[in-house]
Amino acid sequence: MTAELAVPSLERYRFSIQEFECMATRGVIDPDARLELIDGDIIKMSPIGWRHALCVDKLTALLLLALHTRAHIRIQNPIALSEHDEPQPDAAVLDPAIAQQRRQPLPDEVWLAIEVADSTLARDKHIKLPLYARAGIREVWIVDLDTNTIAQYSDPFSGAYRTATTYSQNDTIVSATLPELQLQVADILRDLAPTD
């Protein structure tokens, strides 16, 4: 009788932000590739379709108009959440002091992170949202282009958000972190129905 060999477990190597950025600057990975670092893994981001792009454009204009110089608006650029986490939210509202820094924003400098989901809803809700909560990001919006809704999450505690509210087309979303930020959901989602 032959004894069964035990299946060995493989130890996973988790890249740090420093290693990830070094690989891009040295040409090991394409610096223009759409990649983000999640829990030490280099993750390929989905291509940006026209609905996603138009929604991000609308959000950018609305955030700039609403917040003027009160905040720094960052679009589709990294934020440093931990040694092994550097996601790229579609939009981030930051402490304006970060504009003078020569580094990526840290969690306490991120007032609001926004993800726009067309094909990425499961990843945004089940991977990125808990990541933001663990880092203590005060507020996250997930714009769901398939249901024409915006889910607002706030009050992070123990790796989860204690408050979650969903807004539809006729609602006004008011930021939990910046009460002066009040946007009509219809202004964000108008004209984004998929074409056949």
pLDDT category of residue 194 using cuts at 50, 70 and 90: confident
Of all residues in the chain, the percent with pLDDT exceeding 70 is 97
Mean pLDDT of 18-29: 90
pLDDT above 90 (res 55): yes
pLDDT category of residue 195 using cuts at 50, 70 and 90: low
- 84, 20 in Cβ contact below 8 A? no
Distance CA 166, CA 141 (A): 9
**Integer Rg of the chain from CA:** 19
Mean pLDDT of 60-67: 96
Could you give all domains of the chain from N- to C-terminal order, each with its CATH number? 48-189 (3.90.1570.10)
Distance CA 135, CA 86 (A): 11
pLDDT in tens, 136-192: 999 999 999 999 999 999 999 999 999 999 999 999 999 999 999 999 999 999 988
Residues in the chain: 196
Mean pLDDT of 106-128: 95
- 168, 143 in Cβ contact below 8 A? no
What is the pLDDT at residue 196? 59
Q: For residue 164, what are the β-bridge partners?
A: 153
pLDDT above 80 (res 60): yes
pLDDT above 90 (res 101): no
pLDDT category of residue 27 using cuts at 50, 70 and 90: confident
Strand-pair category, 110-117 with 139-144 = parallel
Query: Tokens 């670092």 — which residue?
Result: 37
- Average pLDDT taken over every residue of the chain: 92
pLDDT category of residue 193 using cuts at 50, 70 and 90: confident
Higher pLDDT among residues 165 and 48, named by residue: 165
Mean pLDDT of 9-35: 89
- 59, 189 in Cβ contact below 8 A? no
Distance CA 143, CA 117 (A): 6
